[in-house]
Amino acid sequence: MAEIARAADVSRQAVYLHFGSRAGLMKALFVFINHKYGLGEKIEKAFPHSRRGRAVFGHR
């Protein structure tokens, strides 16, 4: 978290306040990558019968 805060030129506390925890940061990163690159659709195409993929990426 300290390295991320330094790179963003904010305090470590600011990172925790925004994301809540390391897990919150990882979730936000995952959501960002999913939206930017369409990861959910690509995984669903690769594994069309996987309920787990739909649960992770929010597809039905």
Domain ranges of the chain: 2-57
Per-residue pLDDT tens over the stretch 9-58: 999 999 999 999 999 999 999 889 888 988 878 887 888 776 665 556 55
pLDDT of residue 26: 93
pLDDT at 59 over 80: no
What predicted TM-score, i.e. pTM, was given to this entire model?
Answer: 0.62
**Closest C-alpha among 7, 1, 53 to residue 24:** 1
pLDDT of residue 57: 58
| Per-residue pLDDT band at 2 (split at 50, 70, 90) | very high
The whole-angstrom separation of Cα 52 and Cα 36 is: 21
